[in-house]
Every structure is written in structure tokens, then in C-alpha cells.
Amino acid sequence: GAGVSQSPSNKVTEKGKDVELRCDPISGHTALYWYRQSLGQGLEFLIYFQGNSAPDKSGLPSDRFSAERTGGSVSTLTIQRTQQEDSAVYLCASSLVAGGANYGYTFGSGTRLTVV
């Protein structure tokens, strides 16, 4: 696609429920990243995928968080047993090569998750 697409744009869920967030990167971009942005905070790295390499999961805050990337394209971030502190905007970004060369990433518009 022309840009990075994320869905849903907004998600309200009850504490304890599982949620799935989807990211469709720019076609041909081999690297895909998930970040979390809490209100008034900077972007917090969660996980990144590069081609067929094992993902870098070093930023996932707990074992309730997991992510997959199927066929080197679409990625799904899953949060199990959601907690109120999981409320944030979840941003996905992709780049043509790992590290994004001189132009950094192209971000999606994010999914605003609210856990009530």
C-alpha cells in the first residue's frame, strides 16, 4: 500500500480481555517495528522484525505481549489479559532496509488502546 496501515484506529476493551492490533506495512519494506506511546511520553520500542531473521523482542514489557509477522508482511501484536497500564497508542513503522537508511521510518497512524 501507499502507507503503513493500522487497525483498528481505536480500541476500548475490558481489563482482562485479549486484544489484537494489526499492522500492514508499506509493500516491499523488509523491516517492521512496533512502538508504544503513553500520554505525554516518548516512544517505547516493543519489537522489530527484519526479513526472515528472528525478531528482536527485547522491548516487550511482559509475557502478555507477543507479535507475529506472517509472510514477511502483515504483523499482529497481541496483548493477553489486558491491564489498565496497557492503555496507550501503539504505533507500527516500516522501513525499506533495517535502520531505515537516511529517512528513518514511515509510521502508521496508530491504534489507541483504552483498557477500562
Partner 1 sequence: GQNIDQPTEMTATEGAIVQINCTYQTSGFNGLFWYQQHAGEAPTFLSYNVLDGLEEKGRFSSFLSRSKGYSYLLLKELQMKDSASYLCAVKGDNYGQNFVFGPGTRLSVLP
Chain positions contacting partner 1, by CB under 8 A: 4, 31, 33, 35, 40-45, 48, 50, 56, 58-59, 91, 98-99, 102-110
CB distance 75 to 65 below 8 Å: no
Distances (CA, A) of 30 to 43, 74, 97, 98, 101: 21, 11, 6, 7, 12
Q: How far is the CB of 104 from partner 1 (least distance, A)?
A: 5
Question: CB-wise, 2 or 14, nearer to partner 1?
Answer: 2
How many other C-beta atoms can be found within 10 angstroms of the C-beta atom of residue 19? 18
Q: How far is the CB of 34 from partner 1 (least distance, A)?
A: 10
Q: How far is the CB of 101 from partner 1 (least distance, A)?
A: 9
